[in-house]
Amino acid sequence: MCERDRLRADFVRRAGWGDAGERLLAGDASFRKYFRLSRPRASAVVMDAPPPQEDVRPFVRIGRHLSGLGLSAPAIQAIDEDNGFLLLEDFGDDTFARVLAAGGEEAELYRRATDVLIVVQRAGPRALLPGLGAYAGEALIDAAMLLPEWYLPAASGRPTPDEETMAYRAAWRACLANLPAMADTLLLRDYHKDNLMWLPGRPGVKACGLLDFQDAQQGHPSYDLVSLIEDARRDVAPAVHAACLVRYLGETSLDAQDFAAGFALMAVQRHARIIGLFVRLLERDGKPEYLAHLPRVWRMFERALRHEALQPLRAWVDRLLPPELRHIGAP
């Protein structure tokens, strides 16, 4: 038994689950791993997040905050901050992704997930926590730099000239400068089908279980809705996409025109980042499987770029990435 396994076994024993069976559930893109503990009539999940690479405290803080807003984050049953372990409520195996793949009702699932975002927006300043980072301004631009840094060189066959990289940043700054002001809200950041759990035994908004929220920040209220209904790896039915937008705006009373501009900008930012990311996953990490999703992401990117608020970025993309350079991943 390695030292990490020994530490985890000791944590499980001290938490009162020493007699339970254990099996690895999953790892993710970080150093974290998850293990299910099973007894005949009970189960729990251990988050194994080894320091110094990982820190369980943000998960604990954000999870308790979400629960306080009336949402379904996993209850925390035991904590070992020093060694990086949490004992969590087990939400089961029914991610939205699995339920959808098995024929689950798309409109119902996306409505419940949209309702979570409505609860957060309606909470106003209560949704925010002291010390949350802001996903805005230069942070948004920095994340979107994956497009000129990775996709453009791969598509054009040459490095992106420095002056064009600077022009891309300038276009972003011009778009952000004209973005209508809208109060920040809590952003879960990776709000999509793989991080949402279907809990049909719970009422209303609580039927949508939340995972992977430890990197929460604050920013434009459209961002998590973009993440949900403009999924890089799944086609969301146009009627469902439209219904989520109508529901969110109807229940939050935000200005529809201002929100549409923000939604378009956040969509372009997210899709630009993902287009570059999928090429980086191929070239740096040897993972070609994500390229099959690029045509979908390009369609959503092009649609969002049509908004008048995105004209400076649209001009840069049309000049540097004309249609013939948007072919990577196409069948």
73 and 200 fall within a common domain: no
Quickly count: other Cβ atoms within 10 Å of residue 20's Cβ. Answer: 19
Kindly state the percentage of the chain with pLDDT values over 90: 95
Q: DSSP secondary structure string, 127-196?
A: G--TTPPEE-THHHHHHHTHIIIIIHHHHHSSPPPHHHHHHHHHHHHHHHHTSPP---EEE-S--SGGGE
Instruction: Provide the pLDDT for residue 156.
Output: 96
Q: What is the CATH number of the domain that holds 110?
A: 3.90.1200.10
31 and 112 fall within a common domain: no
Torsion of CA 129, 131, 137, 138, to 10 degrees: -150
Looking at the structure of the chain, the number of domains it has is 2
Q: What is the CATH number of the domain that holds 53?
A: 3.30.200.20
73 and 166 fall within a common domain: no
Q: How far apart are CA 266 and CA 132, in angstroms?
A: 19
Is residue 268 a part of any domain in this protein? yes
Asked whether the predicted pLDDT for residue 26 surpasses 80, the reply is no
- Among 64, 89, 114, the domain boundary falls at 89
Question: Which domain, by its residues, includes 80?
Answer: 3-89
Tally the C-alpha atoms within 13 A of residue 46's C-alpha that lie toward its C-beta. 29
285's CB contacts (< 8 A; 6+ apart) are none
Phi-psi region of 243 (alpha: psi -120 to 50; beta: other; left: phi over 0): alpha
Asked whether the predicted pLDDT for residue 127 surpasses 90, the reply is yes
269 and 135 fall within a common domain: yes
Asked whether the predicted pLDDT for residue 30 surpasses 80, the reply is no
Please tell me whether the peptide bond between 161 and the residue prior to it is cis, using omega within 30 degrees of 0.
Answer: no
- Among 89, 105, 127, the domain boundary falls at 89
Instruction: Provide the pLDDT for residue 157.
Output: 96
Mean predicted confidence (pLDDT) in 206-225: 97
Least Cα distance to 56 among 92, 30, 17 occurs for: 30
Mean predicted confidence (pLDDT) in 96-107: 97
Amino acid identity of residue 231, one-letter, is: D
177 and 84 fall within a common domain: no
- Over residues 277-314, the pLDDT tens digits come to 999 999 999 999 999 999 999 999 999 999 999 999 99
Instruction: Provide the pLDDT for residue 250.
Output: 97
Average pLDDT over the chain, rounded to whole?
96
Amino acid identity of residue 67, one-letter, is: S
Q: How far apart are CA 63 and CA 12, in angstroms?
A: 21
Mean predicted confidence (pLDDT) in 49-59: 95
160 and 271 fall within a common domain: yes
284 and 223 fall within a common domain: yes
Instruction: Provide the pLDDT for residue 27.
Output: 61
Q: What are the beta bridge partners of residue 208? A: 198
Mean predicted confidence (pLDDT) in 220-246: 97
57 and 138 fall within a common domain: no
Q: Residues 169, 171, 177, CA angle at the centre, nearest 5°?
A: 100
Is residue 229 a part of any domain in this protein? yes
314 and 210 fall within a common domain: yes
Q: DSSP secondary structure string, 34-86?
A: EEEEEETTEEEEEEE--TTT--SHHHHHHHHHHHHTT-BPPPEEEEETTTTEE
Least Cα distance to 266 among 215, 194, 318, 217 occurs for: 217
Quickly count: other Cβ atoms within 10 Å of residue 70's Cβ. Answer: 12
Q: How far apart are CA 221 and CA 186, in angstroms?
A: 8
Q: What are the beta bridge partners of residue 76? A: 88
Amino acid identity of residue 190, one-letter, is: D
Q: How far apart are CA 168 and CA 186, in angstroms?
A: 28
Q: Dihedral of CA 140/142/148/151: which sign? A: negative
